[in-house]
Each structure stands twice: as structure tokens, then as C-alpha cells.
């Protein structure tokens, strides 16, 4: 395994922390010819028709951070268009879903193209990716997507109402050929992508915050549309009571109550009950799915994460895209030499 280090913004799972510089170590092996051939073969077998919505549907609600109401309209889109946000309140400025458009933000995933910003996109993107909606235009009337109940359930229900239809064009996955590991030792966070044991994405998340009221837990699953609907979509975002209080003291989330998401006090969730004992770990799986969707195509890998957040998740995606590009360059070099 070869090791390298990159600078990344600091991971913070509680919203009240500022972004701090963080040293991330990337461990990866040089991709051999056999591994590259295997990845190419699996990617080819994993190709499927691109999909979009059968009709437009609307989800409305207020953003957690801003408190602003937003009307989110999910619309069918042509093959090859990917997922694109449209800021209707800014005259139709468009923000394509891509890792290139990700911008730093504490405890959420934001995108920006030019002057147009879209905030807290991970829950919607998770639902679209898990249900295999590749092409979708998302009209917005404000920057921040609705917080809803802190899960992706409302988006899944909206997608199911719209229905899913296939395009003739296909999409090929980003397929991991050799393990890549990212570690952030100073916050004891780690995320690893391994070659998939079967075509598709599986995610296992191990959660442990010593000194916090959220109990250690783990959850893992193959992320199929059926399993996501039943076991992941309804998992809600969470934070300790002390962090919720600090955020509101900063003027953030003033319209959010303890009934709107999972706020943990010493005795457990306040004004709320868990859907599952491991709901927090399930929500972290939901987040990983949403962050990896910035690839713009399906990701086929087995992911194992410990204490990873949005920054480490997307740093892993960057490493995967770099590894794929290097493999393609090496393959091209071999062809030219022949």
C-alpha cells in the first residue's frame, strides 16, 4: 500500500464547530493490470439504462439552518443530463451535481456554480442515487433544501409517486478495483472503499462518540432500492442537546424543535423516539450514499467507515476518481505502445 497526505477541511459531526484544517492520509495500492481488467469487466456488467422520473412532483419545507421555506420540484430530465439544481429564485441559474461543484460547509454538503449556491443536498441526492434516478432537474425557490424530519423519507415517497422510467442510453458505474483508505487520525475517522463483492454499493458504518449521549452502534447493508426504502430512508439526522443549544445561540436552526430531528439528551432522544436502536448509524449510511452520488454515476464498492463525515466521504470520492483516471491513462499508454 502506498501512502500520501492531503490537506482537507476538518470533519465535524456537530454543527457548532468551525472548519479546521485536517491532515488526511490516503492509503492505496498501485492498480495492476489484473485489477484494472477486473474493474473494467465489473463496470461493463454493471451498466444499466439511465433512469428519470415519470412526472414532476413537489416537496416543500423549511431549511434547518436558514429557516427559509423552499419549494422543491423534482422533474424528468433527458438522458445524459445528470442531476441539476435550478435556482428559480435567481432567474434559473443551474448547479450541476458534481464533486467539482462541492464547497466547504460544516456538517452538510453544499454545491456552488458561479453565484448560485445549493445547501444541504445530501438527503435528496441520497434518495435519488439509492432509487437509481440518474437524470433529474430539481427546481428550488431558496438555497437550502428543506430539513423535513432529517431523513430522506419524504423524497423517497415523492419519487415513488412520480414513478421511474428508463432512457435508451446507459450509464456505467465507477467501480473500485483496489482498496483505498482515508484516515484522519486526529479525529479518529477512517473510510475505506474496497472492490465490490457483488455489483453495486454496500456501506457499513461504525459510530462511536465517547463522552456523548449517543450510544456506540453500527449498521451495514447492500444499498438496493428495496432495502433503502425499507431500512435506510427514514433514518433521521441527529446531534447532542449541547450542540443543538449552541447552534441556536448562534442564530441557526431557530425554527427547529426537538421534535423535528433526533436531539440526544442524557436519557436519549428528547421529544422523540428512535425508529431503530441503530438509527444514527443508518443515517450515516444515508449520508455516505448521498455524498458518493457526487460522482454523477453509480458507485460500485464495499464501503467501511468509522466516524466519517461529509468531508471525508467526498475526499474518498475524489481519491476514487483519481485512481480511475490514472488507470485509464495507464491503459491508454499501453495501447499507444502496442
Q: Which residues contact 300 (CB under 8 A, 6 or more apart)?
A: 42, 43, 46, 173, 174, 175, 176, 196, 199, 200, 201
Find the Cα–Cα–Cα–Cα dihedral 233, 136, 223, 117, rounded to 10°: -70
Whether 283 sits among the annotated catalytic residues: the reply is no
Q: Cα separation of 185 and 3, whole Å?
A: 14
Closest CA to 167 of 57, 256, 53, 247: 53
Q: Cα separation of 50 and 172, whole Å?
A: 9
Longest dimension (CA), the chain: 67
Contact 275, 236 (CB under 8 A): yes
Catalytic pick from 11, 123, 300, 310? 310
Residue 179 burial by CB count (10 A; 0-12/13-18/19+): exposed, middle or buried?
A: middle
C-alpha grid cell, residue 158: 415523492
Q: Cα separation of 273 and 268, whole Å?
A: 8
- Containing 280, the helix (H) or strand (E) segment is helix 279-292
Q: Cα separation of 151 and 43, whole Å?
A: 30
Q: Which residues contact 274 (CB under 8 A, 6 or more apart)?
A: 262, 268
C-alpha grid cell, residue 19: 472548519
Active site residues per annotation: 310
Amino acid at each position: 500500500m502506498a501512502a500520501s497526505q492531503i490537506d482537507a477541511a476538518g470533519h465535524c459531526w456537530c454543527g457548532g464547530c468551525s472548519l479546521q484544517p485536517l491532515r488526511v492520509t490516503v492509503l492505496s495500492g498501485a492498480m495492476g493490470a489484473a485489477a484494472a481488467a477486473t474493474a473494467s469487466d465489473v463496470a461493463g456488467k454493471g451498466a444499466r439504462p439511465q433512469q428519470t422520473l415519470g412526472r414532476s412532483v413537489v416537496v416543500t419545507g423549511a431549511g434547518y439552518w436558514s429557516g427559509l421555506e423552499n419549494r422543491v420540484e423534482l422533474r424528468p430530465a433527458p438522458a445524459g443530463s445528470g442531476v441539476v439544481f435550478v435556482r428559480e429564485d435567481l432567474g434559473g441559474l443551474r448547479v450541476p451535481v458534481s464533486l467539482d461543484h462541492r464547497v466547504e460547509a460544516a456538517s452538510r454538503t453544499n454545491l456552488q456554480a458561479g453565484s448560485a449556491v445549493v445547501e444541504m443536498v445530501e438527503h435528496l441526492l441520497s434518495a435519488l442515487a439509492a432509487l437509481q434516478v440518474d437524470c433529474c432537474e430539481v427546481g428550488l425557490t431558496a438555497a437550502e433544501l428543506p430539513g423535513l424530519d432529517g431523513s430522506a423519507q419524504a423524497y423517497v415517497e415523492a419519487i415513488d409517486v412520480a414513478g421511474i422510467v428508463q432512457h435508451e442510453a446507459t450509464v456505467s458505474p465507477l467501480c473500485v478495483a483496489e482498496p483505498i483508505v482515508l484516515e484522519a487520525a486526529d479525529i479518529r475517522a477512517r473510510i475505506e472503499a474496497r472492490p465490490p463483492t457483488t455489483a453495486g454499493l454496500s456501506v457499513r458504518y461504525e459510530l462511536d462518540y465517547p463522552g456523548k449521549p449517543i450510544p456506540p452502534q453500527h449498521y451495514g447493508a447492500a444499498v438496493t432500492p428495496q432495502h433503502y426504502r425499507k431500512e435506510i430512508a427514514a433514518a433521521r439526522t441527529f446531534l447532542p442537546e449541547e450542540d443543538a443549544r449552541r447552534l441556536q445561540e448562534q442564530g441557526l436552526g431557530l425554527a427547529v424543535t426537538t421534535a423535528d430531528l433526533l436531539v440526544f439528551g442524557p436519557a436519549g432522544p428528547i421529544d422523540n423516539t428512535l425508529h431503530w436502536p441503530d438509527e444514527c448509524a443508518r443515517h450515516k449510511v444515508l449520508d455516505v450514499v448521498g455524498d458518493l452520488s457526487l460522482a454523477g454515476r453509480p458507485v460500485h464498492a464495499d464501503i467501511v467507515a468509522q466516524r466519517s463525515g461529509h468531508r471525508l466521504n467526498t475526499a474518498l470520492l475524489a481519491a476514487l476518481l483519481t485512481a480511475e483516471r490514472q488507470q485509464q491513462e495507464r491503459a491508454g499508454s499501453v495501447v499507444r505502445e502496442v
